């Protein structure tokens, strides 16, 4: 994102089959503890950011906490229409069988690019016992140029929650780096889950000045241009141990 656009709106060239194969391998390597259907947002909250139209984002992430059984999560999200995002995530490896969870959202401008709104849902599945209740929400964002503020509300059954966050985009080695933090209610507003982290695009902002390569070397050189790395730490007010999350996004433009 340069100035007002979200970093995930930075579109990269169509990847090769080698790039998709690399993502599949990384999906196998990354494991974690827990997760839910993941719409675009900050660390643990959805925001007004969406995947651009006709862009597919393949994702894998893991949460790491001492003493917890590892799990693996993979999924994707896509922009089928302007201002609309939809996605599916699922648990690939755990003691219990994983059920796919669906998410969708619609974003709209309230005042140009400065003030935006969104309505959507996440965590919709066919198994409430394993995945919990659907997570409907409404949120807004305010772009103050120096940073953005995010606020929202989710009337999830037995887990009603308000949430808020802040993020700022900077440039690091000619690449977009988003610094972000958020907090949301958990345990039906009895406690709060805090988090802080980053998002880093491996593709350069200017596109680079190197001579284009062809063949296998060109395909391998293009892989980083399609990758986005995210990481954050989450700490609940309950006093439970913190959870470290690492996520990899692979962006495809059609």
* pTM score, whole prediction: 0.81
DSSP E strands: which ranges in 38-134? Answer: 55-64, 72-78, 84-93, 101-111, 115-124
- Whether 204 is in a domain gets the answer yes
Number of domains the chain contains: 1
Work out whether strand 84-93 and strand 115-124 pair parallel, antiparallel, or are unpaired: unpaired
Residue 134: φ, ψ to 5°: -60, 150
- pLDDT digit string, tens, across residues 28-56: 343 333 345 689 999 999 999 999 999 99
What's the whole-number mean pLDDT along residues 105-134?
90
Residue of higher predicted confidence among 231 and 67: 231
Query: According to the model, what pLDDT value does residue 207 have?
Result: 64
Lookup: tokens for 193: 């889950």
- Whether 144 is in a domain gets the answer yes
- Domain harbouring 49, CATH code: 2.40.160.40
- What's the pLDDT band for 212 if we cut at 50, 70, 90? low
- What's the pLDDT band for 141 if we cut at 50, 70, 90? very high
Contact 95, 72 (CB under 8 A): no
- Whether 76 is in a domain gets the answer yes
Tell me which H or E stretch contains 177. Answer: strand 175-186
Query: According to the model, what pLDDT value does residue 215 have?
Result: 61
pLDDT over 50 at 13, yes or no: no
- Whether 2 is in a domain gets the answer no
Share of the chain above pLDDT 90, in %: 56
Residue 132: φ, ψ to 5°: 85, -170
- What's the pLDDT band for 128 if we cut at 50, 70, 90? confident
- Whether 1 is in a domain gets the answer no
Q: Which domain holds residue 63?
A: 7-253
């Amino acid at each position: 994102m340069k100035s007002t656009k979200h970093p995930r709106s930075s579109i990269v060239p169509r990847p090769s089959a080698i790039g998709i194969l690399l993502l599949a391998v990384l999906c196998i390597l990354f494991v974690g503890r827990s997760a839910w259907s993941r719409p675009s947002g900050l660390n643990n909250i959805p925001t007004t950011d969406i995947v651009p139209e006709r862009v597919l984002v393949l994702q894998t992430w893991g949460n790491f906490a001492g003493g917890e059984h590892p799990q693996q999560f993979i999924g994707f999200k896509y922009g089928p229409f302007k201002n609309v995002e939809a996605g599916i995530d699922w648990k690939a490896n755990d003691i219990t069988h994983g059920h796919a969870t669906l998410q969708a959202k619609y974003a709209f401008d309230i005042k140009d690019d400065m003030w935006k709104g969104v309505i959507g849902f996440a965590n919709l599945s066919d198994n409430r016992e394993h995945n919990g209740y659907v997570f409907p929400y409404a949120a807004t964002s305010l772009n103050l140029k120096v940073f953005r503020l995010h606020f929202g509300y989710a009337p999830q059954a037995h887990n009603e929650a308000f949430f808020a966050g802040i993020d700022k985009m900077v440039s690091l080695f000619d690449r977009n780096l988003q610094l972000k933090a958020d907090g949301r209610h958990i345990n039906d507003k009895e406690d709060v889950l805090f988090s802080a982290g980053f998002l880093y695009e491996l593709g350069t902002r200017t596109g680079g000045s190197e001579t284009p390569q062809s063949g296998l070397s060109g395909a391998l050189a293009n892989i980083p241009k399609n990758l986005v790395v995210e990481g954050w730490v989450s700490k609940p007010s309950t006093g439970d141990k913190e959870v470290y999350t690492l996520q990899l996004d692979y962006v495809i433009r059609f």
